[in-house]
A and B are shown apart, each in its own frame.
Chain A
Amino acid sequence: MADAGLAAVERRPGVGPALRRLLRQTFVHLGVLPLLLVILLVGFGTWEPRFLSRQNLFNVARQATYLTVVSMGQMVALLTGGFDLSVGVILAMTSVVLAKVMAATVASHPNAVGLAIGLGILAGLGAGTAMGVVNGIGVAVLNVSPFMMTLAMASIAFGLALFMTGGVPVYGMPGQFGATLGFGKLLGVPVPVYVTAVLVLGMYVLLNWTRMGRYFYAIGGNIKASILSGVSTRWYLFMAYVLVGFLASVGGVMLTARLETGEANIGAAMPLRSIAACVIGGVSLRGGTGRLGSVVLAAVFIEWFENGMNLVRIQSYLQMVVLGVLLIFAVVMDEVRHRYVAGMRDG
């Protein structure tokens, strides 16, 4: 049916081809995301009025920060031609270490709440980033495939996190931690949104205005050409996984603040969801291409979509089905896009 529609547009002279070309250009440059966003806004917007309410938008914004931050990390791994399946457990590890350190510090120094929060955050970030370092050594130095390295890391770290907590949530963090970083608002905007905005800005500059960012793209696009261009591919591959670890870890800190407990199983869905956000955002699974803005938008889209499904009371189990279908759809469209691009070659 869609084909018939397109064919009809094509037959009409003048406006038709121009519109078609515009749609095709949009698709080639931005992927399937704009289409999905239109469907989302029109669909849920008309179905459920609360969907576009101010209250709901802030809610979605806060909810989307965690996935956004982790997806930016995942994007870096994908750009270099790999991926990171351990982002979930990095979140978990961060959460557990942070909670333990924070709870222990505040228990021994009840008056030093600020110190406890600071130490906890640092310890959490350190633990998460350290896992990125190990991933980076495995992938860049020992030449383990990213798939095996991060899959094994996921098992190792999940096991460690469970071992440290005995499988039960860690309580005892000072209330101020959750109150500010989790639920706090500044000028009516949730605090995690500010943190995320700063990180998005930083990542934008890193990817587009620094050598490191440029090299991430180049390494994923063609590692041999990068080596021949004098790029220290090992160092930048290593740094890519460290960066993934750090970003996932920040996500872990913010999520822990929101949950107000340290938990070993908070990131279980993160690998899939972050890869989904990247792919829907047009990051190529072959490496070398992808825009930060689209990834951020895609992460927000996923959260917003799930929020919409919640509002119209679609069961959470079914939501998993929908997410999976969406992911496959995005990958298929990525293939189609590649074929379009190949067809645009000079000749």
Chain B
Amino acid sequence: MALTDTQTGRAPELSSGAPPVLRLRGVTKWFPGVQALRGVDFDLRPGEVHVLFGENGAGKSTLINIVAGALRPDAGEIELRGRPVQFRSVHDARQRGISAVFQEFSLVPGLTVEENLFLGAEPTTGALINKPEMRRRAEEALRRLGFPILPRMRVNRLSRAEQQMVEIAKAFRTNLSILILDEPTAALTDRETDRLFQLVRDSKRHGVGIIYITHRMNELHRIGDRVTVLRDGGRVETLAVRDATPERLVELMTGRRIEAFFPRIDHRPGEALLQVERLTAGALVDDVSLTVRAGEIVGLAGLVGSGKSEVGRACFGLEPIRGGTVRLRGRSVGKPTPGAMLRAGLAYVPPDRRAEGLVIERSVRENIALSALPSPHFSGRLFLRRRSERAICLRLAQQLRLVPLGIERPVALLSGGNQQKVVLAKGLTRDPRVFVMDEPTTGVDVGAKTEVYTFMKDLVEREGAGILLISSDLPEILHLAHRAYVMHRGRLRAELERAELTEQAVLSHFFETTTTHG
């Protein structure tokens, strides 16, 4: 096991005696309604890859955003090469040699690759941009990284993988001392990934400290030196990668709460409610078939970009269907549209509630009622039935334990967990039998998470509903789903029954069929 640092009493050191290039002490960050980080200690030594591991919402993103200067901590200290610092901005952090590659790209779509690479640091002669120089340096940087991209291409013409490469190229600069990589391989092919890892190793040799976020066990073992596990905004443990067995990491990641956290949901499969046959849709989904029965939760797992989200969207009519059929309770749905699917008894819970789920300025009541207004409980031939609307919305809000129970408040004022409850309540108004839930617990705190799970349990056990649970949160799939499908690059990779549903089994289908180390 790892040794314990005598100074902090918590952060373990490995054999290396090199002083850390970066050290965080007691870093704390609050967001409205959620404590994103609680007193996290973290250190990064030159020439190491320090992996951050944890569930969604564990605080990884908040932590790297603080290191990258995008967020300011509410409490705690940051030391850079032994000196206390405060980053005023991302630019400030970059000036001090910290580069970050986030999952969300920071590229200007309308500009060219080279213009993006040198944005804010354009080589100039006098007042003018030295374009030949910029082109030369861009070509050199891309060649060094081995990325086959032309500097004069406009970024919005590039594929997602190519954009990812530009983003990485932007981060590799000359005075780099800390590099932050947030799931950089999500959009890359194996070859591109190999190339990136080679660069990471080169950077290590030059003494660059690397903070690396990944959900992939094999990457952890390929390039990681130490791993810090975060849970609910707190640091659980920092250990050497060689000690980090998958079992140990999952245990650390989820804690001992597994039993209490996830309810046991009875599995009494009934008639087939949602049948997807050989569905090919959008740009990604390729020949996917799956079935959701009454009284069961079916998991749909896969990496970001595997197409799992798009399957749900296609079923609800949000992705153009190019082939295959969607059947609801035995009846074929020709061309799904949200309105038709709602009428037919399917409810869709979108992954991003602020972008697609809620009309944030309007009240809880109006949001809950929005998709149900055509139904006779909510409106007559001409006018809304506002009394009935209020009664139904209040009942649903109570059922989902909205706290405080004010249905006339704008949802913008609610906490993340309460907002998610409104999204779920909205799904109930049409009395649906099938739910497609895409990441139903993103960005909600632990308390609200358990309430969402209890809600799902009630739906399945009492109402006999069927739920297609699309989730990147592996423990969620492992503990809630009765069966699960795993997707990879738009196709179904596997169907796993409850007994086969283990972390390894699912993870092994996440990746290419390369063996995992460790």
Contact = CB atoms under 8 A, between A and B. Distances in A.
* B contacts with A: majority SS: mixed
B426 interface: yes
Contact of A217 (B30, B362, B418): B362
B374 A211 contact: yes
Contacts of A317: none
B366 A218 contact: yes
A346 B359 contact: no
B57 to A, nearest CB: 16
B339 A345 contact: no
B339 A230 contact: yes
B360 A221 contact: yes
A347 B418 CA distance: 11
A229 B362 CA distance: 14
B379 A341 contact: no
A344 interface: yes
A214 interface: yes
B32 A346 contact: yes
Nearest to A205: B383
Contacts of B374: 211, 230
Interface residues of B, number: 42
B510 interface: no
B356 interface: yes
A37 interface: no
Contacts of B342: 229-230
Interface in B151-210: none
Contact of B410 (A210, A226, A228, A341): A341
A345 B371 contact: no
A232 B337 CA distance: 10
B362 A210 contact: no
Interface string B24-40: 00000011111000000
A221 B359 contact: yes
Given A214-B384, A218-B366, A347-B415, A229 B31 contact: no
A210 B371 contact: no
Given A228-B338, A345-B415, 14 more contacts: A211-B384, A215-B373, A217-B366, A218-B370, A222-B358, A224-B356, A225-B355, A231-B370, A231-B371, A286-B361, A288-B361, A341-B410, A346-B414, A347-B33
Interface of A: 205, 208-211, 214-215, 217-218, 221-222, 224-232, 284, 286, 288-289, 341-342, 344-347
22 contacts: A205-B383, A209-B384, A210-B384, A211-B379, A222-B356, A222-B359, A224-B356, A225-B358, A227-B338, A228-B371, A229-B371, A230-B338, A230-B340, A286-B361, A288-B361, A341-B412, A342-B412, A345-B412, A345-B413, A345-B414, A346-B413, A347-B31
* A-B CB proximity, top 5 nearest: A347-B32, A221-B359, A230-B339, A229-B371, A347-B33
